[in-house]
Amino acid sequence: MSEAQELEVLRNKIDSLDNEIHKLINERARCAQEVAEVKQKYAAPGEHVVFYRPEREAQVLRKVMARNEGPLADESMARLFREIMSQCLALEEPLNVAYLGPEGTFTQQAAVKHFGHAVQCAGQVSIADVFREVESGNANYGVVPVENSTEGVVTHTLDTFVHSNLNICGEVALRIHHHLLVRQDATESEIRRIYSHAQSLGQCRLWLDQNYPNVERIAVSSNAEAARRAALESGAAAIASEAAAELYDLVMKSAKIEDRPDNTTRFLIIGPQKTLSSGDDKTSILVSSRNQPGALYQVLEPFHQAGISMTRIESRPSASGTWNYVFFIDFEGHADDANIAPVLDNLRKISVDFKCLGSYPKAVL
């Protein structure tokens, strides 16, 4: 057989497989529409029907990864299913997602990674605005950064939870690569200012000390804003993502300049609903205690007793006079789990204030 003939045989096979896949995807979409009807049928009169089910989505993606035999990588296959589910959910209910903008931020990438491309994303100017959009019902869900492996916690996000009634219903981890971006017409000697978000300047501190020790570093509200300025001002550069480079027509002068190659940011999905157990979950709580000897020990000891694995603890000074410290604690498991519910009940009793910020599936992708 000639090359053309061999290709024709294989392409015919691909065409017929595509046909099958196409039919199956639409069959799946019709099923999702039926799921939506069932959800509506069983909702109480006037009840807000919740179409988005993070626990089910996590289970679907975990199953995809577990049964995958290749040659496609587990993660690549899960990303394909992520998109299929995103489109199926959009048939049930088109979602609006507020994220810490503007367009081109890592938070936007996190939103797309978590929800897929079938949601309507709206960039907000601050973390507080993301919370407000969801609280007012303008957006169904919100996405905010919460911690970075190099720079630590995003204090703004934690502090906003203190006065918010929203729940955490998901998490996303994103590997963060920073690039030094300049205008197409820029030359080395022309860089006099480098713009970026304070967190990103921190994540590239050593690289900047080595390569641009005498250049002014200016913290701005987001990396995308930094890119926007670098595009407008001569003598300016930005530390930002590849997406921001494309958006603002900048070129990458130096790529992957983050000090630590494993630089990762964790984002939270916030929404009005509580999430059911997916079988592999995390819970975030906020606990305040008095400034007295043994207070922190009292908070932590029940976790140890119950064999609950803590993944993070963060303390923040209390804004009100009544709280001396606020502890933000993440641990493995769901608030409804038999070994966890009594620990939370106990904490509720012994703390000055206590809030369960939400139980949610561990990030799959």
Q: Write out the residues near ligand PRE by the rule CB under 6 A.
A: 32, 35, 51-53, 56-57, 60, 85, 88-89, 92
Residue 101 beta carbon to ligand PRE: minimum distance, rounded to whole angstroms: 24
- If the CB atoms of residues 52 and 331 are measured against ligand PRE, the closer one turns out to be 52
Which stretch of DSSP H or E encloses residue 135?
A: helix 127-136
The residue to which tokens 């006037």 are assigned: 46
Task: Work out whether the CA dihedral 174, 205, 146, 340 comes out positive or negative.
Answer: positive
- If the CB atoms of residues 114 and 316 are measured against ligand PRE, the closer one turns out to be 114
- If the CB atoms of residues 53 and 228 are measured against ligand PRE, the closer one turns out to be 53
Residue 114 beta carbon to ligand PRE: minimum distance, rounded to whole angstroms: 11
Query: How far apart are the two ends of the chain, measured CA to CA in Å?
Result: 43
- If the CB atoms of residues 56 and 193 are measured against ligand PRE, the closer one turns out to be 56
Residue 273 beta carbon to ligand PRE: minimum distance, rounded to whole angstroms: 11
Residue type, 238: A
Residue 88 beta carbon to ligand PRE: minimum distance, rounded to whole angstroms: 3
- If the CB atoms of residues 91 and 308 are measured against ligand PRE, the closer one turns out to be 91
CB burial of residue 230 (10 Å; 0-12, 13-18, 19+): buried
Helices marked H in 212-271: 223-232, 242-247
Note every long-range contact of 202-210, with CB atoms under 8 Å and residues 24 or more positions apart, other chains counting: 202/150, 202/151, 203/148, 203/150, 203/151, 203/176, 203/178, 203/258, 203/259, 203/260, 203/263, 204/178, 204/239, 204/257, 204/258, 204/259, 205/259, 206/259, 207/257, 207/258, 207/259, 208/257
- If the CB atoms of residues 85 and 201 are measured against ligand PRE, the closer one turns out to be 85
Beta bridge partners of residue 237, listed in sequence order: 194
Residue 283 beta carbon to ligand PRE: minimum distance, rounded to whole angstroms: 20
Which residues are CB-neighbours of 349 under 8 A, at least 6 positions away?
none
Report whether 270 contacts 141 (CB < 8 A): yes
Residue 38 beta carbon to ligand PRE: minimum distance, rounded to whole angstroms: 9
- If the CB atoms of residues 53 and 179 are measured against ligand PRE, the closer one turns out to be 53
Residue 26 beta carbon to ligand PRE: minimum distance, rounded to whole angstroms: 13
